[in-house]
A and B are shown apart, each in its own frame.
Chain A
């Protein structure tokens, strides 16, 4: 099989990229989706709050996904469901498998990686105790509750204040469970401020900052957890240990871009984002392989995923049509307070919005972009936090005028 464009993943990123590529004139597209319908993780995100930027209204996850699914269907863009991509090569051969076609390969002119992310599991945390039933990542619990219609717990402690954890605190409460606490290792939450307000404060669920779970109790099912405050080196302080009786521990301790396929194509990954290193077109170091959405870096809002995927979709179309200018070569570097940027490099003179996250909570600061000593951007912010993605837009003129080969991003007083 051959195709102009293979899109791996039919979630918000994949669908949005497909629509953008189609609208830019590409017709020979195929979306490969591992689940039984399009929509990706949005299918289980039945809460609202999606689409405020894109559609200026509050949609649920499935509603947001369905808007894009309609766009895919209106254009008759082909997709294969229940189809798992097993391998991609640097020469853009995609190997996939499903029940109808068996194992098959597609030779692609361009590939867009849109596989999303996964949750960090418990094993990575080295929490002591046995391994009883009742320990779930927040997303797994969300699937049990929202997709299967079953309750995986009644008395719940949540470790980590990532957005899915916060959403599940509310969801479990609404379903009659008692959420006893949300413990967060860091002195600040990793989730959106609006989720802390609407999912915890509105339900009087305590958010315990600088706290972690040090031990899990129970043999068959969780019977409780021991939590403790941590010092500034994030080490538990023994005398602050306290026992909380519960039958469930939910984990919301980080999302990891799912880049096994990217690695199989030998594409270099950014150590901090966990996604590919890309240019402003979201093209990886391999020409014709693009990445967008949570597989590239974890986003706060699906609206930004759609936006980024459109960039990748358009760029893939331009690549397939042989219209791909490379008239600049800039590296984006960060000062550590800015943890990373996406894109990590700029290869053409055009307007570019740079997305980034900061390493800690900083107040009354300026976001500064410099070309050598020359300040290009100097943007005041009352507060920046790791849980909220920031953006800076660089104009075509700014980029054209850059005299060095790097742009440095920093947070300054």
Chain B
């Protein structure tokens, strides 16, 4: 019997697991995919929003402002890269009133460090902006963070403190028996638990329905992105938003913590909770809208494009509620990443209120070594490590400079990677300009070796995503 089962290992579920891991609880995280961070967390804008967007008085506004305040400490503790790069909400002259309104709303939401900029100051800050932009809101608390890196670190830290992660666990039914619940997976596995946290992202309405709650629905909103080579990472220093519309914050241009330039997202509501395909219309929209804000973007430096789904809820605010020991988190769309630490804190408060938490552990370890510690070391420090473990002297991914030692670490530390994309998200191996062309056969070999599985059983991202079909004629 578990005390708490968290359904969904995205950044929200992960941050909750990390927060609850300090209690003396039997905790499990149930994830339908073959890795954590596979839903909205995998593909979003990677921004820690300052908090000026959400309507005054909304749960979104409260969680965003608080989450943004907490983020620096959380990322430091978990060893996750965080860059307070600031943001600009830019506008043309005819949009001046809207930019002003966002500024006022930010002040009302209690956002610190906001400043209204006129044309000259704006263009002095960011020389690549479209010259026709005449005003902007500067948000000095806005930051960037890698969402899946944060999720991996949070889940990893929870696991290091005793939480269990069950992958490929697609929840198909939830039965109540007395004071406890039985959570059933599609493959027949079951988990008995006293409390449930539903952080299932775009599927949170389905999971809520299994607990008898049909109060809300989630419409996936497709967001397509393009990522540019690291050569372009300094194209803008700040995250550049345009004045927002009803469908979201529009197409942004932003550096990433890893030094690439990110363009996107589009915003299209769709029915399929699984459809992460990119479209020709999406590419065209990104080209056009990104160019409204920033001039001369080197679109020929695109190294990849991808699509994520935001969990847009029917209430248009975050839904966070508890009933009969089930905490439901619905509609955690943007600014979900920014809010995640605050949501976790709020869930902790809710569970405390129903006496679900009990005493704290004496053995809890809050700090986590940064996943990317090796590459930050000095030459002498690296050589110390290489002397002890020669695998750290062997570069596997030449574009990003990732060593075999780092890849083996990704395959053996919590939460361990099981597939090619899992290694990529943990180490950046295959994320560079050649996009895995050179390193993927070697990474496949390392996965097979470390997990003791046949070469042809290694997948790209679990389930049917096989990479090789079997041996060649001569090798049979």
Interface residues of A (CB under 8 A from B): 34, 82, 84, 86, 97-103, 118-119, 121-124, 126, 128-134, 136-137, 139-140, 143-145, 147-154, 175-176, 214, 219-221, 260
Q: Given B303, B444, B456, B464, which contacts A123 in the complex, CB threshold below 8 Å?
A: B303
Q: Report the tally of A-B residue pairs with Cβ distances under 8 A.
A: 141
Residues of B within 8 A of A122 (CB): 304, 435
Residue of A nearest to B384 (CB): A102
A86 to B398, CA, bound (A): 9
A133 to B467, CA, bound (A): 6
| Least distance between A184 CB and chain B CB atoms (Å) | 20
14 A–B contacts from the bound complex (CB under 8 Å): A103-B383, A121-B303, A126-B226, A128-B278, A130-B276, A130-B277, A130-B307, A133-B460, A134-B467, A140-B441, A150-B475, A151-B470, A176-B473, A260-B399
Residues of B within 8 A of A145 (CB): 472
- Does B269 sit within 8 A of A, measured CB to CB? no
Determine if B467 and A152 form an interchain contact, defined as CB atoms under 8 angstroms apart.
yes
Residues of A within 8 A of B283 (CB): 126, 128
- Does B346 sit within 8 A of A, measured CB to CB? no
A100-B393, A152-B467 given as contacts; is B302 within 8 A of A126 (CB)? yes
| Least distance between A123 CB and chain B CB atoms (Å) | 3
Determine if B438 and A133 form an interchain contact, defined as CB atoms under 8 angstroms apart.
no
- Does B274 sit within 8 A of A, measured CB to CB? yes
Q: Given A130, A139, A150, A154, which contacts B471 in the complex, CB threshold below 8 Å?
A: A150
Residue of A nearest to B399 (CB): A260
Main secondary structure of the interface of B (DSSP, over half): mixed
Chain B 436-461, CB-CB to A under 8 Å as 1, else 0, gives 11101100110000000001100111
Give the interface centre of A134, A139, A149 by most chain B CB atoms within 10 Å.
A149
Interface residues of B (CB under 8 A from A): 226-227, 274, 276-280, 282-283, 300, 302-307, 379, 382-383, 386-387, 390-395, 398-399, 401, 433-438, 440-441, 444-445, 455-456, 459-461, 463-475
A100 to B393, CA, bound (A): 7
Determine if A137 and B441 form an interchain contact, defined as CB atoms under 8 angstroms apart.
no
Give the interface centre of A100, A150, A175, A220 by most chain B CB atoms within 10 Å.
A150
| Least distance between B466 CB and chain A CB atoms (Å) | 6
| Least distance between B190 CB and chain A CB atoms (Å) | 26
Determine if A148 and B278 form an interchain contact, defined as CB atoms under 8 angstroms apart.
no
Residues of B within 8 A of A175 (CB): 472-473
Residues of B within 8 A of A97 (CB): 382, 386, 393, 395
Determine if B455 and A150 form an interchain contact, defined as CB atoms under 8 angstroms apart.
yes
Determine if B435 and A121 form an interchain contact, defined as CB atoms under 8 angstroms apart.
yes
Determine if A149 and B474 form an interchain contact, defined as CB atoms under 8 angstroms apart.
yes
Determine if A118 and B434 form an interchain contact, defined as CB atoms under 8 angstroms apart.
yes
Determine if A102 and B387 form an interchain contact, defined as CB atoms under 8 angstroms apart.
yes
A118 to B466, CA, bound (A): 24
Residues of A within 8 A of B441 (CB): 140, 143-144, 147-148
Determine if B434 and A221 form an interchain contact, defined as CB atoms under 8 angstroms apart.
no
Determine if B435 and A123 form an interchain contact, defined as CB atoms under 8 angstroms apart.
yes
A128 to B266, CA, bound (A): 14
Determine if A151 and B464 form an interchain contact, defined as CB atoms under 8 angstroms apart.
no
| Least distance between A9 CB and chain B CB atoms (Å) | 12
Residues of A within 8 A of B435 (CB): 121-123
Q: Given B305, B386, B437, B471, which contacts A140 in the complex, CB threshold below 8 Å?
A: B437
A102 to B398, CA, bound (A): 16
A101 to B386, CA, bound (A): 9
A176 to B469, CA, bound (A): 12
Q: Given A99, A118, A221, which contacts B391 in the complex, CB threshold below 8 Å?
A: A99
| Least distance between B306 CB and chain A CB atoms (Å) | 7
A208 to B304, CA, bound (A): 26
Residue of A nearest to B281 (CB): A128
Residue of B nearest to A150 (CB): B468
Determine if B469 and A154 form an interchain contact, defined as CB atoms under 8 angstroms apart.
yes
Residues of B within 8 A of A118 (CB): 433-434, 437-438
| Least distance between B38 CB and chain A CB atoms (Å) | 12
| Least distance between A8 CB and chain B CB atoms (Å) | 12
| Least distance between A189 CB and chain B CB atoms (Å) | 22
| Least distance between B358 CB and chain A CB atoms (Å) | 42
Residues of B within 8 A of A128 (CB): 277-280, 282-283
Residue of A nearest to B387 (CB): A102
Give the interface centre of A128, A136, A214 by most chain B CB atoms within 10 Å.
A128
3 A-B pairs with least C-beta separation: A123-B304, A99-B390, A220-B464
Residues of B within 8 A of A176 (CB): 473
Determine if A102 and B383 form an interchain contact, defined as CB atoms under 8 angstroms apart.
yes
A175 to B475, CA, bound (A): 11
| Least distance between B341 CB and chain A CB atoms (Å) | 29
Determine if A126 and B305 form an interchain contact, defined as CB atoms under 8 angstroms apart.
yes
Determine if B382 and A221 form an interchain contact, defined as CB atoms under 8 angstroms apart.
no
A99-B394, A123-B435, A150-B468 given as contacts; is B382 within 8 A of A133 (CB)? no
A148-B455, A149-B472 given as contacts; is B465 within 8 A of A132 (CB)? yes
Residues of A within 8 A of B445 (CB): 148
Residues of B within 8 A of A86 (CB): 401
Q: Given A98, A137, A153, which contacts B394 in the complex, CB threshold below 8 Å?
A: A98
| Least distance between B87 CB and chain A CB atoms (Å) | 26
Q: Given B226, B227, B379, B390, which contacts A100 in the complex, CB threshold below 8 Å?
A: B390
A82 to B403, CA, bound (A): 11
Residues of B within 8 A of A121 (CB): 303-304, 433-437
Residues of A within 8 A of B300 (CB): 124
Determine if A221 and B466 form an interchain contact, defined as CB atoms under 8 angstroms apart.
yes
Residue of A nearest to B467 (CB): A133
Determine if B434 and A119 form an interchain contact, defined as CB atoms under 8 angstroms apart.
yes
| Least distance between B380 CB and chain A CB atoms (Å) | 9
Residues of B within 8 A of A137 (CB): 437
Q: A34-B395, A118-B438, A220-B461 are in contact. List 14 more A-B contacts (CB 8 A).
A: A84-B395, A99-B390, A99-B394, A100-B390, A102-B387, A118-B434, A119-B437, A121-B436, A126-B278, A129-B277, A130-B277, A140-B438, A145-B472, A221-B464
Residues of B within 8 A of A152 (CB): 467-469
Residue of B nearest to A222 (CB): B465
Residue of A nearest to B390 (CB): A99
Determine if B393 and A102 form an interchain contact, defined as CB atoms under 8 angstroms apart.
yes
Determine if B469 and A102 form an interchain contact, defined as CB atoms under 8 angstroms apart.
no
Residues of B within 8 A of A130 (CB): 276-278, 307
Determine if A99 and B386 form an interchain contact, defined as CB atoms under 8 angstroms apart.
yes
| Least distance between B170 CB and chain A CB atoms (Å) | 14
| Least distance between B153 CB and chain A CB atoms (Å) | 24
Determine if B382 and A103 form an interchain contact, defined as CB atoms under 8 angstroms apart.
yes
Residues of A within 8 A of B387 (CB): 102
A76 to B391, CA, bound (A): 28
A139-B437, A175-B473 given as contacts; is B468 within 8 A of A151 (CB)? yes
Determine if A99 and B473 form an interchain contact, defined as CB atoms under 8 angstroms apart.
no
A130-B277, A175-B472 given as contacts; is B437 within 8 A of A82 (CB)? no
| Least distance between B307 CB and chain A CB atoms (Å) | 8
A100 to B392, CA, bound (A): 10
Residue of A nearest to B385 (CB): A102
| Least distance between A156 CB and chain B CB atoms (Å) | 11
Residues of A within 8 A of B438 (CB): 118, 140
Residues of B within 8 A of A149 (CB): 471-472, 474-475
Determine if B302 and A133 form an interchain contact, defined as CB atoms under 8 angstroms apart.
no
Residues of A within 8 A of B394 (CB): 82, 98-99
| Least distance between A53 CB and chain B CB atoms (Å) | 28
